[in-house]
Amino acid sequence: MSSTFEIANRHYSDYCRIVISSNSAAFKLSKNIIEIPPTSIAKLTIQYDERYPIDNEPEITLVCQKFGIKISRILTLQKSKSKLTINFGTIATGTTFYKECKMKIDEKSQLNLQYPFNYTVVSGVYIFSFHPTEEGQFSQEIELGEISLLLLGKSVKSQIEFDSKRFIISNTTEKALKLTLKSLSKEIKLNNSIFEIDPKGITKLDLNITSNKAEKGLLIAKYNGIKQIITFDVKKYKNQYETEHLASKIDISPEMIIIPAVDQNSNAIPIIIKSNGNFTVKGPKWLEFPSSIEPNEEFSVNCRDFQREICLSRIIVCSENLKEIPILAYKGKSSVRAEEKVELFYSGEDQYEGEIEITNEGDRSMFCILTALDEHPGYDINISQSSAVIKKFSSLKFTFIVKVTDKNTKEFDIPILLYTGDEIIRQIKALLNPNCFFSEIFKGLQIDDELGKFSKKILNFDKKYFNKIFKDMVFVNELTLFTRQNDNLSTILVSPTNLVMNPNKTSNLTLINTSQNRVYFEAKCVSDVKLSNQKGFIESYSELNLQVFCQKQIDSEIEIITQNDRIRVPVSFKTISISNLKSFSISSNIVDFGVCKVLKKKISEFQITNLTGKKIDLFIKSFKKSHVRESVFDYDKYISLSPLAIVEINLEFTPSFQSQFEECVEIVNQDDRESCILKLVGNGIK
């Protein structure tokens, strides 16, 4: 018996470290210390161990020293109702199956059962019946005092159909059937023992039956779908509740098994089998299970550790009929970590942006899908990458862009759904359902195939049953996109916050209105700074560019004033000493290529910057080489730079034999009569 509850950290920026303890040995905690990130939720499980007595009133205590919080809660045990399940298994439509109730029920109790279930009372014993007239799965749960009764049943349309007088055998499949007829009673004589039925074909069969009219008997026809045999027999009635039907005598739950994280998961997988007789179980060597089981017993399957990444096989259950359970096991499991709240920031032009980092902390590739819950009037949502596969122990960043379409939209609180799970499970889903949502959204992406040679076998999986498994293995988290509302925040932003100008040149100063209201501003300048516009209005969620000009190199200031804001922007200049003025500079005086194999090429880069406001032409020439005639270094001999431009130059090193090489080159600006020396070094090895 266990219980799980959540602990939330409501603080916006601080982690919360919680120490948890219990005063009773009968209650075990999944964790004694939990660290919860800001605005996050952690789960704690308490397990009750009935081997330990409860002497005093048990309680659990949570202490957070950082925030000075101590919380105690009393633990109580809640008695659960007795549960009884009556499973009729799978029968053919139009037939009836009966089962007795083994638990004592008050005869005065009136059971309100619905189609296709019914009951009768015989000698104080409740006899329940299941009579479906259409295909489907049926269930009903009723409460009887301290007893919870669950009725289950499934009906299917049999491949073979008979009428009450003459047997009419119908092939409801898309392929021809070759059937063998076999009589198990001397009272039944067959004219033909083997015949074929075409796809969707019908065959009429007359049986010569001799029987004692004084004795009532039941003609039994059984169909073995594995061996394609129909057997006929005459059986005497034992009681009025006994019936026979053509449905399988083996009912198995679950019908498919998928085991993730084989090297980490030691839990057994329970399998429930309902059978009229003993049955045997066969399977691969990497599974552990009993080979022979008593009727109507439950057994468990344990998965041994294996060397391969994926194993695909089946469990075969044999009784009078045969059934198979596909089983897929694989190593590793993904684990998602992501913040639950994503703050949006105004980025200009009626647009907000936010970013989230999603991490796969597991040891298997994880798929993730981000979708908005529904359409939102007033704004449009765009996700830079709505789907991706994140490798194990890796992260990816996703960007949300919210475009405002209605100026009356004041704030955002947008729910976003995050779907995650093991990528191998998603690929099985896409293989079985190529046009489903989890397949279409990944088309066009480069994704590693995780199924490989197992794809053809997986195509035989039952699609409907796998869809049930897939739903349980996909995790859905809800994220929230929000904008922070704070009256103390400035509604006007400036860019840049510090303005550095060139003498006699115009610079731009941008004012950004982040509010929904139209804002009036005035700009005041100190010294000789001039603005193109010193007052006016900035429309809601828009930008206004101001041109700034100053003739003198004097540090100054611009002050932007609105009704609620007063922003100061320092204005400064970079002064240049004329005596130290150069026309160009290089990023380094030496380029070391390191080690390179003989006759192989290695490339390195360095930068040249034009420090003037005019175009310059540079020449590169070698004036000192190492002990070889031909240079092992290659480079451009002529470079032209635009005003104030920065150019990256590629240098190549190709050693002709094993040795150390050096070369000095001179970079010359002939117009300004300037030059600098660049040294090139490298080692050639075999």
Extents of the domains making up the chain: 2-74, 82-156, 160-246, 251-330, 336-483, 492-573, 584-684
User: What is the predicted pLDDT for the residue at 337?
Assistant: 93
Taken in order 174, 180, 186, 190, the sign of the CA dihedral is: positive
DSSP characters over 512-577 = EE-SSS-EEEEEEE-TT-EES-SEEEE-TT-EEEEEEE-SS---EEEEEE-SS-EEEEEEEE----
Indicate the range of 13-17, 167-171, 360-364, 647-651 predicted with least confidence.
167-171
Q: Which segments of 192-309 are extended strands (E)?
A: 194-197, 202-205, 208-209, 217-224, 229-236, 250-253, 257-259, 269-275, 279-282, 287-288, 292-293, 298-303
Residue 4 phi/psi, 5° resolution? -125, 135
pLDDT at 420: 95
What pLDDT, on a 0 to 100 scale, did the predictor assign at position 351?
A: 78
- The strands making up 2-8's β-sheet, listed across from edge to edge, are 2-8, 41-48, 27-29
Fold of 584-684: Immunoglobulin-like (2.60.40)
Assign a CATH topology to domain 336-483: Immunoglobulin-like (2.60.40)
Question: Among 555, 554, 583, 589, which residue's Cα sits nearest to residue 569?
Answer: 555
Higher pLDDT, 86 or 516: 86
Residue 296 binned pLDDT confidence (cut-offs 50, 70, 90): low
Phi/psi for 438 (5° steps) reads -75, -10
CA 424 to CA 449: how far, in whole Å? Answer: 8
Mean model confidence pLDDT for the chain:
78
Q: What is the DSSP letter of 24?
A: -
Average pLDDT on 662-685 reads: 83
Give the residue with greater pLDDT, 417 vs 165: 417
Q: Does 492-573 match 584-684 in CATH topology?
A: yes
423-432 vs 463-473: helix crossing angle, rounded to 10 = 150
pLDDT of 422 strictly over 90: yes
- CATH classification for the domain delimited by 2-74, as one of 3.65.10.10, 2.60.40.10, 2.30.110.10, 2.30.40.10: 2.60.40.10
pLDDT digits (tens, 9 = 90+) for 308-321: 888 888 887 776 56
CA distance 328 to 139: 29
Task: Give one DSSP letter per residue of 30-84, joined into a string.
Answer: S-SEEEE-TT-EEEEEEEE-TTS---S--EEEEEETTTTEEEEEE----PPPEEE
Q: Which residue has the higher pLDDT, 517 or 4?
A: 4
Question: Tokens at residue 231, please?
Answer: 């057997």
Give the per-residue pLDDT at 421: 94
Question: How far are the Cα atoms of 139, 269, 322, 454 from residue 462, in angstroms, in the given order?
Answer: 21, 19, 17, 15
Task: Look at domain 82-156 and name its CATH class.
Answer: mainly beta
Query: Among candidates 515, 553, 509, which has minimal Cα distance to 533?
Result: 509
d(CA 563, CA 475): 49
Contact 283, 315 (CB under 8 A): yes
Please give the backbone phi and psi of residue 471, each rounded to the nearest 5 degrees, phi first: -60, -35
Number of C-alpha atoms within 13 angstroms, CB side, residue 342?
A: 26
Q: What is residue 598's DSSP assignment?
A: T
Task: Spell out the CATH class of 160-246.
Answer: mainly beta
Q: How far is CA 227 from CA 177, 180, 285, 320, 576, in A?
A: 11, 9, 27, 11, 98
- Model confidence at 367, pLDDT cuts 50, 70, 90, reads very high
Residue 254: both structure tokens together: 């679950």
Question: Tokens 């969620």 correspond to what residue?
Answer: 541
pLDDT of residue 243: 30
Q: What is the pLDDT of residues 471-480, one digit of tens each?
A: 889 999 999 8
Per-residue pLDDT averaged across 431-438, rounded?
91
Domain 251-330 CATH superfamily: Immunoglobulins (2.60.40.10)
Per-residue model confidence (pLDDT) at position 278 = 66
Tell me: pLDDT of 162 over 60. Answer: no
528 Cβ contact partners less than 8 Å away, ≥ 6 residues apart: 550, 551, 552, 554, 556
Token pair recorded at residue 225? 């779908």
Binned at pLDDT 50, 70 and 90, residue 548 comes out as confident
- Please report which confidence band the pLDDT of residue 511 belongs to, taking 50, 70 and 90 as the band edges: confident
- Which CATH code is given to the segment(s) 492-573? 2.60.40.10
What band does 225 get if pLDDT is binned at 50, 70 and 90? low
Q: What average pLDDT does this structure show over 24-34?
A: 84
The answer to whether residue 202 scores a pLDDT higher than 90 is no
What per-residue confidence (pLDDT) applies to 490?
54
